[in-house]
Amino acid sequence: MGNRHRFLDDDQVSNKECFCRIKDHEEEIILACAQDLHKPRFEAEITESGWLLNDIVFTARELHKWVKDEKASDIDLFSKLMSPKIRKDPLGCVLVIGLVYPSAYWYLSTRD
């Protein structure tokens, strides 16, 4: 159980760092959307940084629910006596490099 808490804590820290970096560079993101995609400022704030920041906050809030142990269903009687659970432990890290072009929401689609 100790590893699970460590990974959850690491994920929460990563979410917080990502949120802060996007907030710190929000103006550059909006300018890039204006230059590359010809998006108006308001649209870029809502569709790129706003949705992305909301997605990060949602992920941080729901992470504990997503990794919670589940009761195993559809098992035989003998196994049921041992009350098995499905544990969602991380097995490693994955680097996802995304490029969705042309896309109306390029930061958001790369994050998801």
Q: Indicate the SS3 state at residue 44.
A: helix
Residue 85: name the closest of 72, 74, 99 by CA. 72
Number of domains composing the chain? 1
- pLDDT tens for 46-94 read 888 888 888 889 988 888 888 888 888 888 877 777 888 888 776 766 6
- CA–CA gap between residue 39 and residue 78 (Å, rounded): 61
Q: Which residues contact 38 (CB under 8 A, 6 or more apart)?
A: none
* Integer Cα distance of 68 and 54 in angstroms: 22
- Residue numbers of the domain that contains 79: 2-111
Please determine, for residue 105, whether its predicted confidence score (pLDDT) is greater than 70: no
For 10-99, where are the E strands, in sequence order? 70-71, 85-86
Burial bucket for residue 44 (CB in 10 Å: 0-12, 13-18, 19+): buried
What pLDDT digit, counting tens, does each position of 9-38 carry?
Answer: 777 888 888 889 989 999 998 898 888 888
